[in-house]
């Protein structure tokens, strides 16, 4: 595989991600939390930024767009539904669109809820997805602009990706998410084992991301909301899947 993925901490708890194609020399930044840190990581690897793939309009994901574009003349791709809010946008994309990178196809998925125009980027050939603030390790983004029904649909779409798919998200929230997940499924042994692993990683200052779709299906209460056991545990056996998700999301918001 010619693609190299490099992840690093930006701001307080954001992650920056660079993707480099050694065959073409192209380098992508997933969003731009901090232009100076991204520039330092590029310089350390002698990579030149050619693209920014934007997931959504929030400032901690677009704050470095214009500075990086001025330095590198990179192409900024972003969500069509938020085109007016994405600084320096060159190419607007949405569900069903695709383009080439790293010897394969990049597929765009609409994942609204956190924001109305949020998108994710899925590279089937590399078995990796960049999901911004829709899906987190053991969690999901707050529903700021959309509805709970809408967010559930976005999570279900991501959960349907192939289980080995590696998932890169925008923030290191996993330890907090884990504490909450345990309140929903205290008897989930996969979750219990994962929490021990997460605590060990964080004690060493190491990231808990990327995760995989398989791990989230086994342990993330937000994507498990449709399971009969989860519904029963919440006293919602007769509810629609999205209503169970809504209850879980509401509990997390109050936690």
Residues with a catalytic annotation lie at: 56, 58, 60-61, 114, 133, 171
Distance between CA 63 and CA 118 in Å, rounded? 16
Handedness of CA 132, 136, 142, 145 (dihedral sign): positive
Reported pTM: 0.97
At 1, is the pLDDT very low, low, confident or very high (cuts 50, 70, 90)?
low
Cα 125 from Cα 128, distance rounded (Å): 8
pLDDT digits (tens, 9 = 90+) for 97-133: 999 999 999 999 999 999 999 999 999 999 999 999 9
Q: pLDDT tens digits for 223-245? A: 999 999 999 999 999 999 999 99
Q: What would you report as the CA-atom Rg of the chain, rounded to the nearest whole angstrom?
A: 18
CA gap 208, 193 in Å, rounded? 14
SS3 131: coil
pLDDT grade, residue 2 (50/70/90)?
Answer: confident
């Amino acid at each position: 595989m010619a693609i190299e993925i490099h992840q690093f901490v930006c701001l307080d708890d954001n992650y920056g991600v660079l993707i480099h194609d050694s065959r073409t020399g192209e380098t992508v930044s997933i969003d731009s939390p901090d232009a100076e840190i991204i520039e330092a990581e590029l310089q350390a690897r002698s990579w030149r930024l050619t693209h920014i793939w934007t997931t959504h309009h929030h400032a901690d994901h677009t704050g470095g767009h214009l500075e990086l574009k001025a330095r590198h003349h990179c192409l900024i791709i972003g969500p069509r539904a938020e085109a007016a809010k994405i600084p320096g946008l060159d190419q607007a994309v949405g569900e069903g669109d695709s383009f080439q990178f790293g010897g394969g196809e990049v597929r765009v998925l609409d994942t609204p809820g956190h924001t109305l125009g949020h998108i994710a980027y899925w590279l089937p050939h590399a078995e990796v997805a960049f999901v911004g603030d829709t899906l987190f390790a053991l969690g999901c983004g707050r529903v700021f602009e959309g509805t709970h029904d809408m967010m559930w649909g976005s999570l279900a779409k991501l959960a349907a990706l192939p289980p080995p798919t590696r998932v890169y998200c925008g923030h290191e929230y996993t330890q907090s998410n884990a504490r909450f997940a345990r309140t929903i499924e205290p008897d989930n042994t996969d979750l219990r084992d994962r929490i021990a692993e997460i605590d060990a990683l964080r004690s060493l200052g190491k990231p808990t991301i990327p995760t995989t779709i398989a791990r989230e299906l086994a342990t993330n209460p937000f994507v498990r909301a449709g399971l009969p056991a989860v519904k029963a545990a919440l006293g919602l056996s007769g509810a629609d899947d999205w209503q169970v998700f809504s209850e879980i999301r509401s509990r997390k918001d109050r936690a």
